[in-house]
């Protein structure tokens, strides 16, 4: 028990360090080979000495987080009883691996698996048993392909009673295959500038005769519309705040029936290539379907194309950069019109986003000013309504998070009703739990961004 406690404390310290390490780490669809060496301690009832161990590992990473590893270990040892002589111990099997911070240089992981153990004694019959193992490990990447590793395993098997063995090793891992991150292109070195040749001024030509003025013709005006929409993580549904933007495109294409649009869908870099290609296609199709169903745009004028994660923002390693990468772009024909369009009416809109402390539904003081702006806006424009959407991070059970997100939305509604007298019939509270994340929950910063409410508030037209 003391051995497990000691290694657990060391492992927790390494996990904290790994959360702050720079990028590096596990590649999806990659293979790895490892050589290990260390120590092996036997249950006292086996009457075998603690001895050195050597072994090999061979594995495959399905994703950045999940992998499998086959293993073979050999331990030469001696009996603590002179009558039993020496023994040779072989362990073989496979482990499932869960990498906790796969993008970092320092990658902690958890392992669990099953296999067999063979003990070949000099003066006793060889026995074979099934054996279960579990424990933590850590990999430290020296390069993209080479890493140091350390492992601890608790091994359990039955031989009339349950026996515990412990294995503690270090080693080196070689990773190959998979998709490596794209390297930034190296700027080409410009050749040295050559000395310019002296220029000889050409002889002056006589001035041209002026061109007669053409008859004035009605001027054709060029009108264009653009659309860019961002999406929640792993979602293809259009966010409510973008419905007005989609409506502008729908109205434009109804007014100009010869225009067409290509909707291009994109994702961030998280996930496999195949999955991201399918997700980007669904995002593009959701915009096409909205234009077709809600505005009657003929399907033959709309084209949806998914590009997966092929177009990343320069800051795609951050939560904000990944959010920008989860988007669609619409390439829409411009229209030529002789008659000048009337300028669109000015619209006044209001947004609200409030973040919360862990497991709390209390509004923090720094958000009171923003809340008060929304209250004043809804008092001034009594026809407006608002939907308050509550969200959480992934800490806690789904049931608890659903209740907590609803409480957060209700807290904002109660504030607007109590302080500004907004009719409750104009306010709608809806909790979504952890289902609609805008950042990844692998870091404290990402979880903080997900503990929030968003308010979808009606815009008004200023006359």
Q: Which residue in this structure is represented by tokens 């904002």?
A: 412
- Rounded to the nearest 5 degrees, what angle is found at the Cα of 44, between the Cα atoms of 40 and 47? 85
Q: What is the pLDDT of residue 9?
A: 54
Which residue ranges does the chain devote to CATH 2.40.160.20? 2-177
- 384-438 residue pLDDT tens: 898 899 999 999 999 999 999 999 999 999 999 999 999 999 999 999 999 888 8
CATH architecture of 346-462: 2-Layer Sandwich (3.30)
Nearest to 359 by CA among 315, 327, 403: 403
Residue pair 26/147 in contact by the 8 Å Cβ criterion: no
Higher pLDDT among residues 173 and 316, named by residue: 173
Q: What is the pLDDT averaged over residues 344-366?
A: 84
d(CA 459, CA 366): 25
Q: What is the pLDDT of residue 218?
A: 47
**Cβ atoms within 10 Å of 44's Cβ, excluding its own:** 10
Higher pLDDT among residues 145 and 186, named by residue: 145
pLDDT over 60 at 19, yes or no: no
Residue pair 147/139 in contact by the 8 Å Cβ criterion: yes
Q: Which residue in this structure is represented by tokens 């005006």?
A: 221
Nearest to 455 by CA among 355, 358, 360, 327: 355
Which two tokens mark 441?
Answer: 């929950």
d(CA 323, CA 326): 5
pLDDT over 80 at 276, yes or no: yes
Find the radius of gyration of the CA atoms of the chain. 33
d(CA 320, CA 438): 9
* Chain length of the chain: 463
Residue pair 405/392 in contact by the 8 Å Cβ criterion: yes
**Cβ atoms within 10 Å of 109's Cβ, excluding its own:** 24
Topology given in CATH for the domain delimited by 2-177: Porin (2.40.160)
- 417-427 residue pLDDT tens: 999 999 999 99
Which residue ranges does the chain devote to CATH 3.30.1330.60? 221-337, 346-462
**Cβ atoms within 10 Å of 82's Cβ, excluding its own:** 7
**Cβ atoms within 10 Å of 447's Cβ, excluding its own:** 19
- Rounded to the nearest 5 degrees, what angle is found at the Cα of 348, between the Cα atoms of 347 and 350? 135
- 108-135 residue pLDDT tens: 999 999 999 999 988 778 889 999 999 9
Residue pair 157/130 in contact by the 8 Å Cβ criterion: yes
d(CA 453, CA 390): 4
The dotted CATH code for 221-337 is: 3.30.1330.60
Which two tokens mark 86?
Answer: 């020496």
- 441-456 residue pLDDT tens: 889 998 998 999 988 8
* Share above pLDDT 90 across residues of the chain, in percent, rounded to a whole number: 48
d(CA 119, CA 129): 9
Overall pTM > 0.85? no
Distances (CA, A) of 402 to 206, 437, 448, 449: 83, 13, 17, 17
Provide φ and ψ at 354, rounded to 5°.
Answer: -125, 130
d(CA 165, CA 97): 20
Higher pLDDT among residues 203 and 404, named by residue: 404
Would you place residue 16 in the very low, low, confident or very high pLDDT band (cuts 50, 70, 90)?
very low
Provide φ and ψ at 405, rounded to 5°.
Answer: -65, -35
Q: What is the pLDDT averaged over residues 336-350?
A: 58
* Ramachandran quadrant class, 297 (left: phi over 0; alpha: psi -120 to 50; beta: rest): beta
Provide φ and ψ at 276, rounded to 5°.
Answer: -65, -35
């Amino acid at each position: 028990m003391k051995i497990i406690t000691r290694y657990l404390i060391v492992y927790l310290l390494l996990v904290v360090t790994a959360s702050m390490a720079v990028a590096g780490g596990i590649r999806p669809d990659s293979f790895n080979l490892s050589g290990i060496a260390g120590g092996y301690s036997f249950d006292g009832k086996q009457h075998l000495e603690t001895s050195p161990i050597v072994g090999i590992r061979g594995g495959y990473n399905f994703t950045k987080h999940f992998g499998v590893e086959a293993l073979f270990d050999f331990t030469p040892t001696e009996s603590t009883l002179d009558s039993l002589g020496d023994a040779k111990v072989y362990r073989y099997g496979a482990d499932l691996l869960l990498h906790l911070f796969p993008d970092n240089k320092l990658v902690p992981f958890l392992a669990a698996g099953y296999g067999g153990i063979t003990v070949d004694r000099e003066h006793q019959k060889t026995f074979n048993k099934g054996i279960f193992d579990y424990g933590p490990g850590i990999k430290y990447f020296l390069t993209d392909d080479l890493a140091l590793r350390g492992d601890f395993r608790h091994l359990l098997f039955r031989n009339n009673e349950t026996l515990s063995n412990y294995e503690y090793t270090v080693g080196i891992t070689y990773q190959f295959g998979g998709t490596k991150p794209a390297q930034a292109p190296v700027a080409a070195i410009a050749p040295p500038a050559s000395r310019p040749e002296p220029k000889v001024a050409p002889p002056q030509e006589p001035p041209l005769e002026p061109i007669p003025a053409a008859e004035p013709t009605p001027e054709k005006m060029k009108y264009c519309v653009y659309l860019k929409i961002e999406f929640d993580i792993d979602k293809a549904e259009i966010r409510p705040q973008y419905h007005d933007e989609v409506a502008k495109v729908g109205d434009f294409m109804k007014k100009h029936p010869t225009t067409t649009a290509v909707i291009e869908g994109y994702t961030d870099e998280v996930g496999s290539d195949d999955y991201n290609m399918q997700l980007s296609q669904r995002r593009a199709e959701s915009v096409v379907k909205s234009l077709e169903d809600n505005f009657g745009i003929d399907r033959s004028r709309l084209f949806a194309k998914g590009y997966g994660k092929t177009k990343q923002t320069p800051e795609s390693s951050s939560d904000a950069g990944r959010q920008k990468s989860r988007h669609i772009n619409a390439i829409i024909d411009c229209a030529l019109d002789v008659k000048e369009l009337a300028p669109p009416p000015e619209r006044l809109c209001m947004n609200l986003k409030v973040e919360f402390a862990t497991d709390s539904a209390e509004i923090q003081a720094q958000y009171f000013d923003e809340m008060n702006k929304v209250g004043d806006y809804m008092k001034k424009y009594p026809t407006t309504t608002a939907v308050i959407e509550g969200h959480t991070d992934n800490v806690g059970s789904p049931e608890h998070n659903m209740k907590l997100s609803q409480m957060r939305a209700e807290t904002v509604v109660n504030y607007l009703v109590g302080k500004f007298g907004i009719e409750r019939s104009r306010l709608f509270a809806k909790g979504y739990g952890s289902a609609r994340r805008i950042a990844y929950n692998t870091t404290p910063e990402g979880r903080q961004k997900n503990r929030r409410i968003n308010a979808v508030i009606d815009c008004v037209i200023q006359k």
